Structures are given as C-alpha cells and as structure tokens.
Amino acid sequence: MVWPMFYKGVYHLFYQYNPKGAVWGNIVWEHAVSKDLINWESLETAIVPSEWYDIKGCWSGSATILTGEKPVILYTGWDNSSRQVQNMAVPKNASDPYLREWIKIPQNPIMVPLPENGINVSSFRDPTTAWLGKDGRWRLIVGNKEDRHHKGRALLYTSKDFIRWTKKQHPLHSSKKTGMWECPDFYPVSHRGELGLDTSVTGPGLKHVLKVSLDDTRFEYYTIGTYFPDLDRYVPDNTSVDNKNGLRYDYGKFYASKTFFDNYKTRRILWGWINESDSTQDDVDKGWSGVQAMPRSIWLDNVAKSQLIQWPVSELESLRGNKIYKEDIILMGGSTIEISGLTAAQADVEVSFNLPSLTDVERMDSNLDAQQLCSVNGTASNSMVGPFGLLVLASSDLAEQTAVYFRIGHHQNKMKVLMCSDQSRSSLQSDVDKTTYGAFVPFSLKQKSLSLRILVDHSIVESFGEGGKSCITARAYPTQAIGEDARLYLFNNGSTSVVASKLTAWDMGSAQQP
C-alpha cells in the first residue's frame, strides 16, 4: 500500500510499515525519497496514530498537489469508535523538497461515514488522488461496499477548499456482487502515445481508467471507459468486463496498487505491492515481509484502446551490468538450453520467439479460465505449440525452477496465446504457496513472433508478455537455486520447434533501499 508523488524534483514514496516487527501490525506511514525511482533514502516517519480519529490505525490514502504547488496527504484513520474516517495532513515546510515533517490539520476528520448515507462504518476507506473540475471544485472517490447487494462502490466527494467535503448523492460508479472496493484509483489516459496525463485532465482524445482492489478475491481489476464531468458519472466501455472477471494489471501476486502522474517526464507510473508466499514464521526469521514491484510506466494500448500496457521504468536499465546476447536459438521439441554467463539470481531477460505454423494447435478446455488452464496443464504437459519459454531461478538439476512460458491453442472458438507462471517446482520447501498463475495475451493471427521480458530478483519474478500486454508477478523461495547456483534456461516442451530469434540478458546490480 503506497502513496507516491513527484514534488520539486524528488520522487516520494509513502508506505505502510510496522516499525516493531516483520509482519502486519502497529502500522505507520513511512516515507522514502528518490531522484531516479530506483535508489531510495529513508526519511523520518510521516504519520503515526496519535489522535482520536486515527488512534487505532493510519491506513491507505493518497497524495495530491494542490494549486500553487501545495502537497497534501489524505489517509484513512480508524477512530476511537472503530469507524473508518478520512483525514488530512500537510507538510510543516512546503519549501523543503524532501517534505520531512507532516502535520495533521485541526479540522480532522474531514469525511466521516454517516448512517443516513447508508455507509458501513467499517467499509469506508482509501481516498484517491483528487482531480480539479472546470467548476473549481475538487473531486475524489473513497472505496466502499453496500452490504445488501454486495455492491462495490466508488463514493464521490466534492470540495471547494479541500477541507469541507460533500458526498454526492450517487457514486462515481458501482458494480453488484463485487464486494468491498479497496484502494480505488481513477485517472485519464491518452488515445495517442505513451505520455501520461495529469489526473485533472478531461475532454476529447482520452479515456478514463477505474481500478479497484477487490477484498473478496485479493486481486485487482480495472475498466476503461468514459467520464462525464457534468454528470460526475463514469461508464465503462462495452469492451470492459465490469466485475471480478475483468481486466487486471497483473495476474499474479500484485495488490493495493497506486498510480501517480510524473510531471517531470510526463508519464503515469504504477506501483504495486507484492506480498509473501512463505509462512509467517519465515517472515519473522528473515526480518521482513512484503516488497514493492518495480515501478511501471502505464498507458493505453493505442491500437485496440481496450486495455493498458505496462513496462518497467527506463531508469531500471541503470542497474544493468554484464550483457549476454544470442540470436536464432533453435528449440527442438523437448529441449532445454542453458543460458550461461550471467548471475541468474538477479537478472533482466528479454527474448523474442518466432512462431511456427499455427494450422494444427491444441484445443484448450473452454470451461477453464487462464489460471486454471495453466494449473491443469503445467510445464510438462506438451502440445503442438508450447509450452515454450524460460526457466528462471532454476537449479542445475532442474529440481527447482520457476517456469514462465507460452502455449497456443483454440479456446472458446478463438486462437489464443496462454501465458503461465508456474511455481509448482519453485522451491523444495513444502510450506510455501506454489500457486500457478495464468493470463491470455492479446494476439493477432498476423503476428509472427511473441516477446517475453522477465525481471528476476532472488525471490521475485516479474514477467511481461508481448510488450507488457499481460503481466504476471510471482514469488519463489528456492533453497538450491540461490546466488551463484541459480540458473537460467530456454525450453520448449511442445512437439513443434520454436526459434528464439533474439535473447538479451543482463546481470542486475542492487539498488539503494530505504
């Protein structure tokens, strides 16, 4: 759970943190700063529970830059009556680019769950970054659940002065049978190019994105649609499924995400939380739990305009070291080829595969979704085309491996590319979650190739299929494939040969951590 922003040449990351232990509890708002989104310096704690309106916890929120370059923080407090209320903090010295000290305003709480508005006091949290309308009023949404229909709602609030807020009669948007909407996010994306837009931008030539984190599933979903400022309504496009079967940023371990507009480089950056897959005792023993995914640039797919594209920020390339480059690697059916010459426990790998003829491919079970197909078939289950891809964090005997791969077949009467991240053999440890994740990758029969990029960082595997059209993040806890003993392999378990036309891999250095 993070709240990022860019202010006076400095990137800021506020995040939930337990100063007294490695697992959840005693949550405060910690604060780190960076000049490049990669190397971070930890500063003083920003917010701690101290007042009646947040004495039981300071929870998720967001940062907004007001007119005149004035930063503010909104956050959810759990008050002494066990209500979730929204509070505000401002910097003690706004001229300090590092914003080292924050002060809670005396008007707190600025938004409370009123019974006459039908708001469950325990389902009212996570205010978004605000946007400024042409009428001079600020707007933001707060996550909510209406119990009767198990309806997720984005409650809409407006304000002239950012202190006195009024709830609109209707939510910005809602959807039945989706449960509590945590960590909502609402922002515009351009029809053209990869440049980001300020949160307050409206008008022609853009779409809007509404993202919610579903407490029921612990996954995130988003829709792309149209925002009608005069009505304060958001309507998803008919190409966006508006429930828990909809589009996701990431089809693996990725939750409570937040975007912000980076006005320095005119881009929108996405941050997501990767939680653990090992036991609580393992977390206590190692002294930490939970990490942030690499920051990703995010933009609208300018061709289809029906989904988002994500890609690691370019600053990540500053950590690249030794480079391996290979061309035209022929992967016969059933082959595994080691890619040596780099430290595979911490690497950045990009590979393009030339596709064979697709006239004869498997028929996938139409009753199963992508994750179920990946779980049922697995790496060892061969077909005509696939599985083929990479084995990362692998031991020399392949007893431990995390497989990220494609397979191609017919599913629900359409040719589809299935992308899987298989953790079933990721560790010899028995007490870790080894869930296999899967997603369908948008694909055209005119395509002659598929691309895959994987970021490996010891226990973290972030995979980007076909230029960031489908992303899967996973955790792995190898006991043998660690440090210099980790290996990287290309593989093809399908019966048809596949060519890795280009493979580039780099050793990755370590970033400065907060």
CATH of the domain at 186: 2.115.10.20
Please report which confidence band the pLDDT of residue 73 belongs to, taking 50, 70 and 90 as the band edges.
very high
User: Angle at the Cα of 182 (from 66 to 80), degrees rounded to 5?
Assistant: 80
The whole-number average pLDDT for the span 80-93 is 97
Cα 184 to the center of its chain, rounded Å: 12
pLDDT at site 307: 97
Please report which confidence band the pLDDT of residue 513 belongs to, taking 50, 70 and 90 as the band edges.
confident
Domain of 452, CATH number, reads 2.60.120.560
Residues 300 and 425 reside in one and the same domain: no
Residues 419 and 473 reside in one and the same domain: yes
Residues 19 and 160 reside in one and the same domain: yes
pLDDT at site 377: 85
Pairing of strands 335-338, 487-492: antiparallel
Helix extents (H) in 354-458: 370-377
pLDDT at site 331: 97
The Cα–Cα gap between 442 and 469 comes to 7
Q: At 456, is the secondary structure helix, strand, or coil?
A: strand
Q: Is the dihedral of CA 272, 278, 279, 280 positive or negative?
A: negative
Q: Which long-range contacts (CB under 8 A, 24 or more apart) does 413-417 make?
A: 413/366, 415/358, 415/361, 415/443, 415/445, 416/364, 416/440, 416/443, 417/441, 417/443, 417/450, 417/465, 417/466
Q: Is the pLDDT of residue 286 over 90?
A: no
pLDDT at site 403: 98
Q: Is 514 within the bounds of a domain?
A: no
Share of the chain above pLDDT 90, in %: 88
Question: Which residue is it, tokens 């600025």?
Answer: 110
pLDDT at site 103: 98
Please report which confidence band the pLDDT of residue 27 belongs to, taking 50, 70 and 90 as the band edges.
confident
The mean of the pLDDT values for the chain is 95
pLDDT at site 180: 96
Domain extent, residue 432, equals: 320-508
Q: Which domain-ending residue is among 264, 298, 314? A: 314
Q: Is 303 exposed, middle or buried (0-12, 13-18, 19+ CB in 10 A)?
A: exposed
The Cα–Cα gap between 91 and 71 comes to 7
Residues 194 and 298 reside in one and the same domain: yes
Tell me the per-residue pLDDT of 404-446, one tens digit each, with 9 for 90 and over. Answer: 999 999 999 999 999 999 999 999 999 999 999 999 999 888 8
Residues 410 and 481 reside in one and the same domain: yes
Residues 220 and 354 reside in one and the same domain: no
Question: Which residue is it, tokens 């009428």?
Answer: 135
Tell me the per-residue pLDDT of 223-250, one tens digit each, with 9 for 90 and over. Answer: 999 999 999 999 999 999 999 899 999 9
The Cα–Cα gap between 271 and 294 comes to 7
Q: Is the separation of the CB atoms in 125 and 182 below 8 Å?
A: yes
User: Angle at the Cα of 171 (from 166 to 175), degrees rounded to 5?
Assistant: 160
Closest Cα partner for 330 from 501, 502, 499?
Answer: 499
Q: Is the pLDDT of residue 323 over 90?
A: yes
The whole-number average pLDDT for the span 115-130 is 90
The whole-number average pLDDT for the span 127-148 is 96
Share of the chain above pLDDT 70, in %: 100
Q: Is the pLDDT of residue 514 over 80?
A: no
Residues 343 and 452 reside in one and the same domain: yes
pLDDT at site 233: 98
pLDDT at site 119: 87
pLDDT at site 326: 98
Domain count, the chain: 2
Q: Is the pLDDT of residue 50 over 90?
A: yes
Residues 310 and 347 reside in one and the same domain: no
Q: Is the separation of the CB atoms in 176 and 168 below 8 Å?
A: no
Tell me the per-residue pLDDT of 335-345, one tens digit each, with 9 for 90 and over. Answer: 999 999 999 99
Whole-model pTM: value is 0.97
The whole-number average pLDDT for the span 58-70 is 95
Residues recorded for the chain: 514
Question: Which residue is it, tokens 């393992």?
Answer: 282
Residues 23 and 147 reside in one and the same domain: yes
| Residue environment code for 140-175, b if the CB has 16+ CB neighbours within 10 A, otherwise e | bbbbbbbeeeebbbbbbbbbeebeebebeeebbbbb
pLDDT at site 22: 86
pLDDT at site 253: 96
Please report which confidence band the pLDDT of residue 20 belongs to, taking 50, 70 and 90 as the band edges.
confident
Residues 339 and 304 reside in one and the same domain: no
Q: Is the pLDDT of residue 321 over 80?
A: yes
- For 209, phi then psi, to 5°, come to -115, 130
From residue 446, give the alpha-carbon distance in Å to each of 357, 358, 415, 489: 11, 11, 12, 28
Closest Cα partner for 188 from 161, 171, 211?
Answer: 211
Q: Supply the Cα-derived Rg of the chain in whole angstroms.
A: 23
The Cα–Cα gap between 273 and 55 comes to 25
The Cα–Cα gap between 180 and 149 comes to 11
Residues 244 and 392 reside in one and the same domain: no
Q: Which residues pair with 439 in a beta bridge?
A: 419
Residues 325 and 306 reside in one and the same domain: no
> How many CB atoms neighbour CB 114 within 10 A?
11
Q: Is 252 within the bounds of a domain?
A: yes
From residue 471, give the alpha-carbon distance in Å to each of 239, 401, 485: 19, 19, 27
Question: Which residue is it, tokens 């391996």?
Answer: 324
Please report which confidence band the pLDDT of residue 91 belongs to, taking 50, 70 and 90 as the band edges.
very high
The whole-number average pLDDT for the span 311-334 is 97
